[in-house]
């Protein structure tokens, strides 16, 4: 597997990974704002898929129809949809693409669910690797606390209830997150994760993130091109306003 | 139908089952007592006719049957249908969507039925899915890994019919060619007839390549339905007897 840079894409992809409650979304949001304010071409990939794939995923989750295999496949479908329709074209167009979670989430989650690691990795080998991957490593108790305090309504699959780790939703969530963390840490060296101390305060973490991004990426290349005005402003045709025909 | 008239019902011999790859987590393959029979072929190759005849015959012989096919899962069949109508998904996405559909049926229909000793008749299996993707330029090794979840069937029959004859049969049935069965998404030709011929030709070549790996039986689908059925009966009879 190669990174987008190694594949000669003009764009670069930065991913953040970490447990729920590790603060990764906050950090990538602040990174996005910083890059935008510099006038760079930035796209934040929201983990929303096409309505179609989403409808199947929602149905599967609501009715608890998913097994580890179909859970893995439907999320891979979802990812492929985003990858082929959004990420690749934007990276071809020279964007800085920021992803809140990438393939490593699937690598960790599906393996915890019992899918063989080689199979899961094989599924995703159509995707290139991020140019930078930040891993937000918080103590398990810290991230558990953040989640369990803020949003006590845990969902079935999110808590790993399908794994029958415990009949208690919260206990199941704890065990599941603990196993996720083990998987992440095991991948850390192999995929060159930039490991962040997520127990630190937001500002300190963001300072490190910004420093690493500016060191590792040539940000000057991502400036929006100022285009000369295409037509004299005076000759601009009046805007057409669509008027609904009144129904008699 | 000699067997059906004999009152003796043959109990299928157990065979060692295996998956193409790692299979499905926590499914012991030795518990699967039933049989999996696959019929492959293009639209108009006579697949459904043959499956209907096999069901009649097998039930007559005292075997319980279950049928599966592509795009029939509870999980994603409706969404897949909609996706195809709009042709909005790119190839990896569509491929994985079909794999999800397959896996859902495998785990929720095929495996439980085999555990219960049913004979499962599959109207197309992973080979059609692989061939379609290969014709569209997807990596064979990637597909092999993806379908490592699939169970190796006890018999696979590929109904071989020349594209010229397929066209005739499709017109006789629908008076129109199907967009996907004509490979129109590939841009082989703007002319649907030309595209159909080219696409079906590519599919046949790909099936022949897959045959070398997966060793399925190529059945001459140009004969009458009865003649083909007689051949399938004989071969399936041998499978059930454990030969």
Token pair of A222 as six digits: 């991502």
Instruction: Calculate what percentage of chain B has a pLDDT beyond 70.
Output: 96
Of B25, B107, B145, the CB nearest to A122: B145
Instruction: Calculate what percentage of chain A has a pLDDT beyond 90.
Output: 65
Q: In what order do the strands lie in the sheet with B119-123?
A: B65-69, B119-123, B35-40, B155-160, B217-220
Q: Which of B242, B154, B108, B173 is nearest to A69 (CA)?
A: B108
Mean pLDDT of the A183-191 span: 96
Q: Looking at the domain assignment, is residue A91 inside a domain?
A: yes
pLDDT tens string A5-38: 999 999 999 999 999 889 999 999 999 999 999 9
The pLDDT assigned to A248 comes to 39
Q: B93 and A77 in contact by Cβ < 8 A? A: yes
What's the rounded Cα separation, in Å, for the pair A121 and A172?
Answer: 25
Q: Looking at the domain assignment, is residue A209 inside a domain?
A: yes
Of B82, B107, B146, the CB nearest to A67: B107
Q: Is B82 on the interface with A (CB under 8 A)?
A: yes
For residue A247, pLDDT beyond 50: no
Residue that wins the pLDDT comparison between B6 and A76: A76
Domain count, chain A: 1
Instruction: Calculate what percentage of chain A has a pLDDT beyond 70.
Output: 89
Question: In terms of CA atoms, which chain B residue is nearest residue A56?
Answer: B76
Q: Looking at the domain assignment, is residue A246 inside a domain?
A: no
Question: In terms of CA atoms, which chain A residue is nearest residue B141?
Answer: A122
Q: B26 and A114 in contact by Cβ < 8 A? A: yes
Which residues of chain B lie closer than 8 angstroms to A113, CB-CB? 25
Q: Is A55 on the interface with B (CB under 8 A)?
A: yes
This model of the complex carries an ipTM of 0.83
pLDDT tens string A148-178: 876 567 888 888 888 899 998 888 999 999 9
- The enclosing domain of A213 has a CATH number of 3.40.50.300
Domains of chain B: 34-240 (3.40.50.300)
Say if residues B173 and B54 touch (Cβ distance below 8 Å).
no
Residue that wins the pLDDT comparison between A46 and B121: B121
Q: What are phi and psi of B48, to 5 degrees?
A: -65, -40
List, as own/partner pairs, every contact residues A46-53 make where C-beta atoms lie below 8 angstroms and the sequence separation is at least 24, other chains included: A46/A100, A47/A82, A47/A100, A47/A101, A49/A78, A49/A81, A49/A82, A50/A81, A50/A85, A50/B88, A50/B89, A52/B79, A52/B82, A52/B83, A52/B88, A52/B89, A53/A77, A53/A78, A53/A81, A53/B79, A53/B93, A53/B97
Which residues of chain B lie closer than 8 angstroms to A74, CB-CB? 75-76, 100
The answer to whether the predicted template modeling score (pTM) of the entire model surpasses 0.90 is: no
Q: Looking at the domain assignment, is residue A1 inside a domain?
A: no
Q: Looking at the domain assignment, is residue A247 inside a domain?
A: no
Q: Is A145 on the interface with B (CB under 8 A)?
A: no
In sequence order, which residues have a C-beta less than 8 Å from that of residue B210 and are 6 or more positions away?
A: B127, B130, B131, B134, B216
Q: Looking at the domain assignment, is residue A46 inside a domain?
A: yes
The pLDDT assigned to B1 comes to 47
- Residue to test with chain B: of A62, A73, A103, A164, most B Cβ within 10 A: A73
Q: Is B137 on the interface with A (CB under 8 A)?
A: no
Domain, as residue range, for A202? 12-235
Specify the residue for token string 């555990």: B115
Q: Looking at the domain assignment, is residue A5 inside a domain?
A: no
Rounded to the nearest integer, the mean pLDDT of chain B is 90
To 10 degrees, what angle do helices A51-62 and A68-82 make? 160
pLDDT tens string A91-135: 999 999 999 999 999 999 999 999 999 999 999 999 999 999 999
């Amino acid at each position: 597997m190669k990174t987008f840079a190694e594949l000669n894409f003009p764009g670069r992809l930065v991913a953040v990974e970490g447990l729920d409650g590790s603060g990764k979304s906050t950090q990538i949001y602040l990174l996005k704002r910083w890059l935008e304010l510099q006038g760079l071409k930035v796209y934040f990939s929201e983990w929303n898929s096409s309505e179609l794939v989403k409808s199947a995923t929602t149905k599967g989750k609501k009715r608890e129809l998913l097994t580890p295999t179909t859970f893995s496949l439907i999320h891979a479908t979802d990812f492929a949809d985003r990858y082929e329709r959004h990420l690749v074209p934007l990276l071809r167009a020279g964007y800085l693409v920021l992803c809140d979670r990438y393939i490593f989430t699937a690598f960790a989650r599906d393996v915890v669910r019992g899918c063989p690691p080689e199979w899961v990795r094989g599924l995703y080998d159509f995707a290139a690797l991020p140019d930078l991957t930040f891993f937000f490593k918080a103590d398990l108790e810290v991230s558990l606390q953040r989640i369990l305090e803020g949003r006590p309504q845990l969902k079935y699959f999110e808590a790993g209830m399908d794994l029958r780790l415990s009949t208690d939703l919260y206990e199941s969530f704890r065990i599941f997150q603990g196993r996720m963390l083990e998987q992440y840490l095991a991948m850390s060296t192999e995929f060159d994760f930039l490991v962040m101390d997520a127990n630190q305060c937001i500002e300190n973490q963001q300072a490190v993130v910004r420093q690493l991004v500016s060191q590792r990426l040539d940000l000057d290349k991502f400036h929006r091109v100022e285009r000369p005005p295409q037509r004299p402003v005076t000759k601009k045709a009046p805007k057409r306003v669509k008027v609904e025909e009144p129904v008699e | 139908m000699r067997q059906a008239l004999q009152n003796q019902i043959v109990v299928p011999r157990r065979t060692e089952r295996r998956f193409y790859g790692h299979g499905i987590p926590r499914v012991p393959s030795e518990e699967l007592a039933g049989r999996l029979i696959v019929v492959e072929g293009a639209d108009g190759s006579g697949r459904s006719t043959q499956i209907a005849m096999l069901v009649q015959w097998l039930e007559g012989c005292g075997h319980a049957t279950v049928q599966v096919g592509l795009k029939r899962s509870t999980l994603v069949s409706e969404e897949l249908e909609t996706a195809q109508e709009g042709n909005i998904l790119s190839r990896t996405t569509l491929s994985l969507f079909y794999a999800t559909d397959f896996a859902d049926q495998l785990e929720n229909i095929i495996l439980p039925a085999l555990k219960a000793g049913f004979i499962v008749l599959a109207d197309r299996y992973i080979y059609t899915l692989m061939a379609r993707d290969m014709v569209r330029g997807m990596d064979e090794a990637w597909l092999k890994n993806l379908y490592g979840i699939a169970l190796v069937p006890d018999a696979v029959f590929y109904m071989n019919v020349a594209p010229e004859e397929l066209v005739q049969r499709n017109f006789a049935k629908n008076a129109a060619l199907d967009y996907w069965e004509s490979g129109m998404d590939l841009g082989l030709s703007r002319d649907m007839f030309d595209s159909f011929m080219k696409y079906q030709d590519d599919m046949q070549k790909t099936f022949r390549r897959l045959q070398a790996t997966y060793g399925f039986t190529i059945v001459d689908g140009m004969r009458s339905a009865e003649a083909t059925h007689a051949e399938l009966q004989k071969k399936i009879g041998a499978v059930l007897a454990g030969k």
